[in-house]
Amino acid sequence: MEIKFKRFHLQSDLRSPLKGFETISVPTEVRIDPLTRRRSRIITWGLPTQEKFNFSEMVDESKGCFFCPENVLQKTPQFLKEIIPEGRIRIGRAVGFPNLNPVGSYGSVVVLCHEHFLNLHQFTPEIYEEGFSVALEIIRRTMDFDPDTRYWQISQNFLLPGGSTILHPHLQVIGDPIPTNEMDRLLDSSSSYYQRNGTLYWRDLIQIEKGLGKRYIAQFGNVHWFVPFAPIGFNEVCGSVEGHGSITTLAKEEIASLAQGIVSTLKYYDEKNLNSFNFSVTSISGEAHYQLLIRIISRTPFQPYYLNDWTSFEALQSELTANIIPEELCHEIRPFFP
Ligand SMILES: [Zn+2]
C-alpha cells in the first residue's frame, strides 16, 4: 500500500501585543491528501466562538414558502411525463420535483420535511432516510430514461452561509453526463491508485485509518465514518459506503446508516454553536475503482455581521483551510456517533 500521510510544518514568529510584545511562534500545518495530492492548510488559532443565533424572527418572516406543505404540491414544477408520469415523487414527508433554476442536465429538489425550519439538533435519521429514498427514486427513473447520466450529487446547502436562499430544509439532486472537477479528480486518482497497487484505495484507507484509530470515528453497517487527513473544509466528516459507487444500489439499511452519520455530525455541530453546513454525496455508476463518498462540512455560523470562510486562499489560491486539527475533531465527535 502506498498511502502516505505527508505534512509540512510552517511557523510564523512575531512579537505579540497580547503578551507584552514577547516573541511567540504560531504554527500552521499543510497536509497533502494521500489520494488527490491536494494541499490543505490547517490553522491552529481558533475563530471567536459565538452564541446560538435565534432564528425565530427569520422563520416568522419567511414561513409559508413554496416548500411549506400548503404550497409544495401547488407551486413547484413537475417532472416530464416520460420520466416520472406522476409528476413528483413523495415518500413519507419528503417530496421531490424538478428545480426551477437547474444548473445542469437534471436538477431536482427534495423537500425534507413539513417544518419550515429545523435547528441542527432537530434533524432526525427518518428525515434523511425519506429524503434519500426520494433522491434514489429520481436517479433510478432518470437513468432508465437517460442511461448516460452517470454522475450524481445529492447535496444539502443549509442557511445563507451554506449558499441557500430558502430556509426550508431541502436536498439538491443533480445529474449530468459529465463529471464535476471533484468527481474527475477522485476518479482519476482512484483509478491510477488501482493501476499501481492492484487494490481499491478506499478499502486500503479504511483499513489504515481503523488501525491508526486517530481519525476513524465509527462504523454503521457498512458505512465507515472518519475525519479526513487533509480536510477541504471546516469540521469535515466523511463517510464511505463499502461495496458501492452509486447511491442507486444502496439497500434500506445502508441509507439508514448514511442518515445516522449525518444526524450525528449535525448534533456535534449544534453543540459547537454552528448552524450552517454543506454536504455532498458523490454517486457515480459504472466505475469499479470508486467508492461512494459523502463529505460534510460546517460553514461559519449565521449571525449578524457573519464572517465568510471563503477567503482569497480558497477562492483564488485553491488552498483549502480547516480550523481544527483532524485528530482533535475525531476525538471530540466520537461520542456523538452512538
Ligand atoms: Zn417553508
Distance, CA 64 to ligand 1 centroid (Å)?
5
Distance, CA 70 to ligand 1 centroid (Å)?
9
Query: What's the pLDDT tens digit per position in 188-205?
Result: 999 999 999 999 999 999
Model's pTM, two decimal places? 0.95
Distance, CA 91 to ligand 1 centroid (Å)?
18
Distance, CA 254 to ligand 1 centroid (Å)?
29
Query: What's the pLDDT tens digit per position in 228-246?
Result: 999 999 999 999 999 999 9
Distance, CA 45 to ligand 1 centroid (Å)?
38
Distance, CA 117 to ligand 1 centroid (Å)?
7
How would you write the pLDDT of the chain (338 residues) with one tens digit per residue? 689 999 999 999 999 999 999 999 999 999 999 999 999 999 887 777 778 999 999 999 999 999 999 999 999 999 999 999 999 999 999 999 999 999 999 999 999 999 999 999 999 999 999 999 999 999 999 999 999 999 999 999 999 999 998 999 999 999 999 999 999 999 999 999 999 999 999 999 999 999 999 999 999 999 999 999 999 999 999 999 999 999 999 999 999 999 999 999 999 999 999 999 999 999 999 999 999 999 999 999 988 877 888 888 888 888 888 889 999 999 999 999 99
pLDDT of residue 67: 97
Distance, CA 71 to ligand 1 centroid (Å)?
9
SS3 for the chain is CCCCCEEEEEEEEEEEHHHCCEEEEEEEEEEECCCCCCEEEEECCCCCCCCCCCCHHHHHHHCCCCCCCCCHHHHCCCCCCCCCCCCCEEECCEEEEECCCCCCCEEEEEECCCCCCCCHHHCCHHHHHHHHHHHHHHHHHHHHHCCCCCEEEEEEEECHHHCCCCCCCEEEEEEECCCCHHHHHHHHHHHHHHHHHCCCHHHHHHHHHHHHCCCEEEEECCEEEECCCCCCCEEEEEEEECCCCCHHHCCHHHHHHHHHHHHHHHHHHHHCCCCEEEEEEEEECCCCCCCCEEEEEEECCCCCCCCCCCCHHHHHHCCEEECCCHHHHHHHHHHHCC
